């Protein structure tokens, strides 16, 4: 097992993707600190890992505060003697369009995703640097943070910010041998279960059947377990040379997202005045303006399902 003797924290790991990450890390030999806001959910996650022969303990707390971050790191050290891996997965959603989004909707999502990632990584970095043996930071992003999504101002801001922080941490932590990467997962979750477009895939998964190839290959959409292998790889010694990257994974697809780079560059002596822009902007940039959001291909006829009635 590639992670024998390692100790990992996975935030938001009571169920879903987080539990898949924690379970795979344990299968690879790591001892795992499980985290959830619900005590019963956390206990069930620990029990499922132990039933497979793994080692796990739970910290029941909401991610966001420095106190929770400290409690997570303290639990790793108290129960398993050290810390090697942190996976920041905890999150919440408060979806609504911009003009209906309240301050609380925005602050709650930013507090858990963005601030929670910051506080946990900061606390872990302090411990990993003290140990002096390197480490692995793996932060969970989203396609929404990469391309935007209708009704998700707060979530898009948080997930884009996480990738920005990861690039910075890769620079700051390199000398200590600590890698920092972002994973952009695409998988069947409670959220996608209600979307008619994914109904055939969710239906197959619920029956324990393989998802149709259209979803797994063309869309890169699969199960939580399809994402977990990348988490374990990035946590391992084999990935020591991988840092500052955003890696997408889902179904049969693995992607390396680019860092933002200029698409077109134009120069004008004396600078770009309003009049110059009005005259020349479309000529210089119009054909290369970037798309926003994700566009899915049409579903094959055999995979279409009727939308649920209200």
Write down the pLDDT at residue 202. 87
Round to whole Å and give the CA distance between 206 and 200.
10
Q: Whole-model pTM?
A: 0.94
pLDDT beyond 70 at 295? yes
Catalytic residues: 155
pLDDT tens track for 161-174: 999 999 999 999 99
Is the backbone of residue 22 left (phi > 0), alpha (psi -120 to 50) or beta? alpha
Q: Could you report the per-residue pLDDT of 99-151, keeping only the tens digit for each?
A: 999 999 999 999 999 999 999 999 999 999 999 999 999 999 999 999 999 99
Higher pLDDT, 198 or 22: 22
Q: What is the pLDDT of residue 308?
A: 56
Please report, for residues 112, 150, 231, 254, the alpha-carbon distance to residue 93 in angstroms, rounded to integers and kept in the order given: 10, 13, 22, 25
Evaluated on CA atoms 115, 79, 174, 180, the torsion sign reads negative
Least confident of 191-195, 196-200, 260-264: 191-195
Residues 112 and 91 sit within 8 Å (Cβ to Cβ): yes
Structure tokens at 283: 């000529």
Q: What is the mean pLDDT of the chain?
A: 95
Q: What is the pLDDT of residue 159?
A: 98
DSSP string, 100-166: G--HHHHHHHIIIIIIHHHHHHHHHHHHHHHHTS-EEEEEE--HHHHH--TTBHHHHHHHHHHHHHH
96: pLDDT strictly greater than 70: yes
| Per-residue pLDDT tens digits for 38-51 | 999 999 999 999 99
Q: How far is CA 188 from CA 16, 144, 216, 310, in A?
A: 9, 15, 11, 22
Confidence class of residue 155 from pLDDT cuts 50, 70 and 90?
A: very high
Angle between helices 16-27 and 39-51 (to 10 degrees): 30
pLDDT tens for 279-291 read 999 999 999 999 9
Determine what percent of the chain is predicted with pLDDT higher than 70: 98
Split at pLDDT 50, 70, 90, the class of 309 is: very low
Would you say 121 and 139 are in contact if contact means Cβ atoms under 8 Å apart?
yes
**pLDDT-based confidence at residue 310 (cuts at 50, 70, 90):** very low
């Amino acid at each position: 097992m590639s992670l024998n003797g390692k100790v990992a924290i996975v935030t938001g790991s009571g169920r879903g993707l987080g539990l898949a990450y924690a379970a795979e890390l344990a299968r690879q030999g790591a001892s795992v600190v499980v985290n959830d806001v619900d005590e019963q959910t956390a206990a069930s996650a620990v029990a499922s890992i132990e039933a497979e022969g793994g080692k796990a303990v739970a910290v029941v707390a909401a991610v966001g505060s420095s106190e929770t971050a400290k409690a997570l790191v303290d639990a790793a050290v108290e129960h398993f003697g050290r810390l090697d891996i942190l996976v920041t997965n905890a999150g919440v959603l408060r979806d609504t369009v911009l003009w209906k989004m309240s301050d609380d909707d925005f602050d709650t999502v930013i507090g858990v995703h963005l601030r929670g990632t910051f506080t946990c990584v900061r606390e872990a970095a302090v411990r990993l640097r003290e140990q002096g043996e390197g480490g692995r930071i793996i932060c969970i992003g989203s396609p929404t943070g990469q391309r935007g999504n209708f009704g998700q101002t707060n979530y898009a801001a948080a997930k884009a910010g996480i990738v920005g922080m990861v690039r910075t941490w890769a620079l700051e932590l390199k000398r200590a041998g600590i890698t920092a990467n972002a994973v952009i997962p695409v998988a069947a979750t409670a959220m996608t279960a209600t979307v008619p477009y994914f109904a055939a895939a969710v239906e197959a998964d619920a029956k324990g059947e393989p998802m149709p190839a259209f979803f797994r290959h063309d869309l890169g959409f699969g199960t939580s377990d399809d994402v977990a292998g990348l988490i374990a790889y990035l946590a391992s010694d084999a990935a020591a040379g991988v840092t500052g990257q955003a890696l997408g994974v889902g179904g049969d697809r693995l992607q390396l997202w680019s860092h933002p780079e200029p698409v077109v560059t134009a120069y004008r002596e004396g600078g770009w005045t309003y009049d110059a822009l009005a005259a020349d902007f479309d000529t210089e940039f119009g054909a290369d303006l970037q798309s926003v959001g994700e566009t899915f291909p049409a579903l094959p006829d055999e995979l279409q399902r009727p939308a649920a009635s209200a």
